[in-house]
Amino acid sequence: MEQAPAAVFTACSVSPTTISSGESATITYAASNADTVSINQGIGTVPSSGTRVVMPTESTTYTLTANNARGPVTCNVSVTVNSGTAQAPRIIAFTANPSTITAGQSSTLTWNVEGADTVDISGLGTVASSGSQAVSPTATATFVLTARNRNGTSQANAPITVNAGTTPPPTQSTAPVIGGCQATPNSITEAGASVTINYFSQNATAVTFSPAVAGSGLNGPVTVTPTATTTYTLTAAGANNQTATCTITVNVTPAPAPPVAVITGPSTIETINRQTTLDATASTNPAGGALTYIWTPLGTGAAVLDQGQPVTRVQFGGQFGDYPFRLTVRNAQGQESSTTVNVRFTSVRIP
């Protein structure tokens, strides 16, 4: 009795492989000859091909398992989660298509990297930040992409399974696949600003956008300029009327008005004392939340005694005269504004 063929993954990738905390990544996969397919990390059983959006809070490796009577086969994809404002390069996509070949055949590596000073692929050397290259490994191999900048290093793997020439290649699924769906940035504060949408497709004859996007093809990137929050639906069409979709939402949220710095009193405050008080409690912050107060003497001979406070004491040297000060207020969003006041230290008693 002829034994059933082993299960095999014909596609297995994640895009992007590097995200910031709070962002998502898309696992794209396809398995042949499998009775069941599952993903760990609490996801469980999934269809034999498709995509799965994940949002890990820390760097995570996902193991995909395809099983039949011959036993399980696995593939791993990893998502690196960066924290802080200084970011290592972002690997939007790194795939091998097809991921299973017969000895003597070729597979095409495709990659797209953002924010890298250098990009290297094992076996190929230094490459451009995006592109594709046909490879013909003689044995099962994993190609490693390494992207570097001054903030760190990001890596992604593209495994290729090579079957012996006497073994018939596995039957590959003809169902279309679309993945790597990502908007950069996914939130803008100015209507009509440019946003880059990245994606890739496999086994597809066409990819369409709803709403329509000029210049779209089988693979991204494309540029959109939404004037309001918009959800884009990407549909990959393949043979036998089969389709695959993904959605991307770009949020358009106008930035709040900046804070307003206010120093209570006239533009020139007169005093006969070597120390007086400046009051900025009337400053406003339309965005809400606390303000940071920065007091700066603009001349010599004066000092700020309560830096960082909305009400501060200022002190003068021995010379009578004018002492200008600048107040800068800054909110949590980084918006700021400034105003100045002149303090006149005089020997003449103010009526």
CA distance 89 to 148: 6
pLDDT tens for 81-96 read: 887 656 788 888 888 8
* Domain span(s) for CATH 2.60.40.2470 in the chain: 176-254
- Quick check: 242 and 178 in contact, CB under 8 A? no
The DSSP symbol for 241 reads G
pTM of the model as a whole:
0.42
CATH class held by domain 268-345: mainly beta
Protein fold of 176-254:
Immunoglobulin-like (2.60.40)
Percent of the chain with pLDDT over 70: 95
Task: Give the bridge partners for 75, in sequence order.
Answer: 64
Domain with CATH 2.60.40.10 in the chain: 268-345
Query: Which residues lie below 8 Å from residue 334, measured CB to CB, with a gap of 6+?
Result: none
**What 3-state class would DSSP assign to 111?**
strand
Q: How confident is the model at residue 254 (pLDDT cuts 50, 70, 90)?
A: confident
Distance between CA 222 and CA 109 in Å, rounded?
Answer: 20
The stretch 66-91 carries a mean pLDDT of 85
Could you give the C-alpha distances from 300 to 303, 304, 319, in angstroms and in order? Answer: 8, 12, 10
Smallest CA-to-CA distance from 260 within 279, 278, 286 is with 286
pLDDT digits (tens, 9 = 90+) for 148-179: 998 888 888 888 888 886 554 445 557 899 98
Contacts of 185 (CB under 8 A, 6+ apart): 195
What length does the chain have? 351
